Structure 1
Amino acid sequence: MSNYTVEKMEQIQQLLDGAVKVGKLAELEAQEAEKNASISENVVDLLKETQITRLLLPKKYGGPQIDLKTFAKIIRTVSYYNVSAGWLTYLFPLHNTLPSYLPPKSRDEVVNQGGLICDVFAPVGKAERDGDGFRISGTYNFASGVLFSDWVGLGVVMEHPDSDRPEFCMPIIPISEVTVVKNWDTFGLRGTGSNQVIADNVYVPLDRILRLEVMDSTRRPPEKDYDTEYPFYHVPFFSAFYIGFANIALGGAERALAEFKQLTEKRVRLMDNTRESESPRSQRVIAEATTEFRTAEALMEKYIQMLENYENENERTPGPAEFFAIRTKIIKSCVDIVVRLLLTLGGAALYKGGPIELILRDLISVGTHKTSLYEDSVASYGKELFGFNGETLG
């Protein structure tokens, strides 16, 4: 084994150990995060201290530049302890991939500033040409982690000067140039602090505008001399970008299973004085739920393999709807698992702040994300299987 491999393994273990620390701190502060509709600065500081926020930066900027499988494991580890913290453990480092597709000058500007990045992909804004750049306006909801970010990417459909048609783009804007409205008051994922952002005629230079459709189709940065080892340069952008949602769900469901086992081992039913762990009822539930969970895990492994092999000429090239369908199936399975566990435990599991109650609210909320909608995904995949355009980005 080479020294590089040993060093890399040690580095990965340090990141995983850091993920456990982040998760445990977020779990300790979970009720405070529920009340404040945001994780604390303590958790964000620990994400930075453990280098988790930098783990997907290109290595030229000093980041560990880890592989997709390790990234997935880190997300799942934090989510086991707290789903909202897992959400931001996913999004903060993920958004550091965005500058990797900017021209080198703007990439250096954003990365070297050192701040965190949030985004809203929904193209609800408008872009108007102004000299060598564009003026961006729009009201955007669901900017996760915006209270701790220095930059925000905002989706627009615009006429880029290098295109002959309107295309999906994302200007990268300093937070200081937009207005943040604290409007996050939701059923679940409360700790993500996914507040509103308003851009009012904000000027953005052309070289700080990401061409998202081009990024997805070419899988490359705008320059010819690029880091060929950077994992996001060899996979369809959106399918790779959305990898975290299913891993958040896996982490939450895994914790729910552990909680169910612990609670059931101690439980005695008053009606028949039966120890529940000895009852075929709960034995059947935990067996079926665990089997369903293992199936979801295997689907996630398949998803990562499909990404890793995407440019292998000997492999079948999956379409974006297939990625979409696998991802949402994992999330749906995890939600179904937790619903069944709560229904089996009965009324005692309903008290607000209990682990399974919180996990269920958070996982249902994960399932409502635009890229997690199961009914949309299977409709799209069915089209793709019959040779039609699935009409999804991934």
Structure 2
Amino acid sequence: MAATGSTTTAATRQEGEAKRLIEGVRGLGERIRDNAEQIEAVRRVPAEIVDELAALGVFRMVAPGPGQADPVTFVGVCEELAYADGSTGWIAGIAGATSVVMGYLGPDVADRMLADPKFLIAGVAAPVGLATPCDGGYRVRGRWSFASGCEHATWLVGGCRVPGDRPVRRMMIMPAAAMSIHDNWDVAGLRGTGSHDIEADDVFVPQEHSFSLADPHEGFPVMSQLALGLGAVPLGIARAAIGEFIALAQVKNDPMTGQSLAGKGWARAAVAEAESLRASALAYLLSEAAKPDPRGVDDVARLRLAIATAARSAARAVDLMYDAAGGASLYTSSPLQRHFRDVHAATQHAMVGPDLRETVGAVLLGEDVNTARL
């Protein structure tokens, strides 16, 4: 009986935390939307918005502890923030997911990092750095690209090769202040994510600040956690694009006939198709995210397929709205052109690319395939 009561209390607490998170980011939505053009122009989310998201716990969503968000809540938070602004949602998804690495550290080490109210960990898992063993840890050198949110980070993580007779790969967690940021994120979409290169030049990393993704880890699959926001964010962008088109269709009239855009059959069909793509992809993603753990390879493959499908379906939905709006979507004053660029930037991420679908297809067909990236 005591165990049942304890389980019920934990579930109730998690439900309350999920509601608090969703309501919190929804409450910030209008202000984030008001800043969207400025976020893109300066290529950075305002520090005050980042601080408020940190205070809500967005950047530690999946770190072990009483405030840990379940996968469905994580999707909801990322989608809601991306509905307000794609770049803000992207940083939340990347940094929030990266907090999963706290589970690989000793409890005391993780607690010290998480004690900072502005905690935000960003970085890159690709093992392009070099970590040379030394007394008490490693000396790290390397440069990593696509470090979304690095400008706001308190900690940065980078994948490294550790030399030796049998080279291994380990992740190194470094103080953000000890690293350099190369301002080179000048791109077409998701401009406000600040996904610059980061560099370590002989940074000392204590042994207790390093880990391997191959180490045992309980709960939601780690690579899937890191990928989950890549499906949720495009869906939020798609919801925003559909809303923009609906508003435009009420006021835009054909100059030759006077007919409203909303009155045209092809426009009605386009918005219906876009909404069906968005809503069905969201339902698919949530249903896979909600499945119990642990998961076998087949279940993980289906989850990753749902994530990739969300990104592709969202992009198709935005394309429909962008095309249906006609010339109006070309103006920089139209949010539709920003949604178009943002969603297509999201689909370029390697974790939702064509090779992922090939791997999933091989798993579903029962073929022998390397599933390390799942």
The reply to whether TM is greater than 0.5 is yes
Cross-structure match for 1:349: 329
Cα deviation for residue 382 of structure 1 reads: 2.7
Q: Deviations over 1:340-379 (max 9, x none)?
A: 1111110111111422111111111111112121x22222
Which of 278, 287, 291 is 1:302 aligned to? Answer: 287
Structure-2 separation of matches of 1:6 and 1:209: 34
Correspondence 1:79-158 to 2 at 5 A: 79-114=82-117, 115-158=119-162
Cα deviation for residue 235 of structure 1 reads: 2.4
The amino acid across from 1:377 in the alignment is L
Contact 1:169–1:210 (CA<8 Å) still a contact in 2? Answer: yes
Cα deviation for residue 271 of structure 1 reads: 3.0
Contact 1:23–1:85 (CA<8 Å) still a contact in 2? Answer: no
The TM-score, its normalising length taken from structure 2, stands at: 0.90
The amino acid across from 1:199 in the alignment is A
Cα deviation for residue 339 of structure 1 reads: 0.9
The TM-score, its normalising length taken from structure 1, stands at: 0.86
Unaligned runs of 5+ in 2: none
Contact 2:278–2:317 (CA<8 Å) still a contact in 1? Answer: yes
Partner SS for 1:106:
helix
Q: Deviations over 1:238-273 (max 9, x none)?
A: 112211110001111111112112211222212333
Q: Deviations over 1:12-41 (max 9, x none)?
A: 322212111333222111122112111111
Structure-2 separation of matches of 1:253 and 1:81: 11
Contact 1:72–1:247 (CA<8 Å) still a contact in 2? Answer: yes
Which of 43, 56, 59 is 1:37 aligned to? Answer: 43
Contact 2:120–2:153 (CA<8 Å) still a contact in 1? Answer: yes
Contact 2:60–2:120 (CA<8 Å) still a contact in 1? Answer: no
Q: Deviations over 1:120-173 (max 9, x none)?
A: 11211112121332211111121111111111000113359xxx9434321001
Matched, 1:286 2:292: no
Moved more, 1-10 or 286-295: 1-10
Which of 354, 360, 363 is 1:381 aligned to? Answer: 360
Structure-2 separation of matches of 1:100 and 1:3: 23
Q: Deviations over 1:276-332 (max 9, x none)?
A: 222221121112222222221122023203xx32327xxx65265443333212101
Cα deviation for residue 210 of structure 1 reads: 1.6
Partner SS for 1:188:
coil
Contact 2:159–2:172 (CA<8 Å) still a contact in 1? Answer: yes
Moved more, 50-59 or 5-14: 5-14
Partner SS for 2:31:
helix
The amino acid across from 2:241 in the alignment is A
Contact 2:224–2:304 (CA<8 Å) still a contact in 1? Answer: yes
The amino acid across from 1:367 in the alignment is T
Which of 36, 49, 53 is 1:47 aligned to? Answer: 53
Structure-2 separation of matches of 1:309 and 1:10: 20
Partner SS for 1:33:
helix
Cross-structure match for 1:325: 305
Q: Deviations over 1:41-81 (max 9, x none)?
A: 1111111233323433332xxx5222111111111111111
Matched, 1:272 2:257: yes
Cα deviation for residue 8 of structure 1 reads: 4.6
Matched, 1:21 2:51: no
Cross-structure match for 2:70: 67
Correspondence 1:111-260 to 2 at 5 A: 111-114=114-117, 115-158=119-162, 165-214=166-215, 218-219=216-217, 233-260=218-245
Aligned alpha-carbon RMSD (Å): 2.3
